[in-house]
Structure 1
Amino acid sequence: MASPTSADPARPADPARLVVLVSGSGTNLQALLDAIDADPQGYGARVVAVGADREGIVGLERAERAGVPTFVRKVKDHATRGEWDAALAAATAAHRPDLVVSAGFMKILGKEFLARFGGRIVNTHPALLPSFPGAHGVRDALAYGVKVTGCTVHFVDDGVDTGPIIAQGVVEVTEEDTPEGESALHERIKEVERKLLVEAVGRIARDGHRIEGRKVHLGHVGE
């Protein structure tokens, strides 16, 4: 199968293989599973495994209900962060992914993981990058007083939320959105984020992509 992440724009004959990484409730994972279930042939991808950095989370339960294999690699089970990263990379590689989707995965991926899957790791962030990177994008946007915020789907590089941007969605900030009530804004962002992630992953899987510097080209580029 031609990888959907190569420069070859031809659509792969088989669905792209996705490994999804989660740390919590797995709502983005569920959005992907639902999209695939709604159109198994047309979506262009399938989830072959779900990995996590902790046990007992809803994201793993969602995978198990869907019949998707799971694996857990906890940081505390390894002597160093580098050893954990290598173990996570090996567990992910065992499922031969074409794309890795970081769907609410709350650990920074290290050198070994990036060396194996660089240019093939998709992440979401609840702000319009490059503004407000890091763990508190929603809170930071509100504190700055922006009138619009949103979400970003991007490829992962060795920085924090600095990889090439695939797609962005805009969410209006209302007068009712305050730093004390950031959860309401975050929920509105998540609604847009789920749709954006499903669309972006599907397009990459079906039509391929190419990265030139910071520019991501989706679809049959060059035809």
Structure 2
Amino acid sequence: MSRILVVHGSPRGERSTSRRLAEGFLSAWQARHSGAQVTRREVGRAVIPAVSEAFVAAAFYPEPEARPLVMQADLALSDALVGELFDHDLLLISTPMYNFNVPSGLKAWVDQIVRLGLTFDHTLDNGVAQYTPLLQGKKALIVTSRGGFGFGPGGELEALNHADPWLRTVLGFVGIDDVTVVAAEGEESAERSFAVSVAQAEQRLLDLARTF
């Protein structure tokens, strides 16, 4: 049975383009995967705590199996979020690009799931750090919207896009390197041009729903 984890990063509800596009893909995908397990994790309209000093102390406690109860509590949400990643085959992230990066809620989610000993490991080889990803065999789809044009690969503003390229880096670091990005551009630009971009994104997502 296919299992998909949907992480919504936009603070907007129905007005969110990225959320609407992702849900459109999900509907088409579910039509082809009857009985599939779908889990939605809201990080844009829910509070995901930022990493704190207590979180860091607990995450890097030298004997993880002997963490005090208070430290276990500090990591409870993170443990649950990491568990969701391991329990699903596919990851669908919807997010707008805000100020050249992702919204703060999605960044907080990333900080909660990049965990030493859980999603990546770390060793020293002659003083040089070696990192090993621990999530294997999973695929990810990033559905994103951008206010202007030219932020995609080869675009004149590509260097200013630190949203989906950053997500690719993070996901690859923990072992999810099969990542597809679908973007709609121009939300703050000409209405007609944006509509064309959205239509193209919708079509691509429908095509992907047949093969994902």
Q: TM-score under structure 2 normalisation? A: 0.47
Higher Cα Rg: structure 1 or 2? 2
Q: TM-score under structure 1 normalisation? A: 0.45
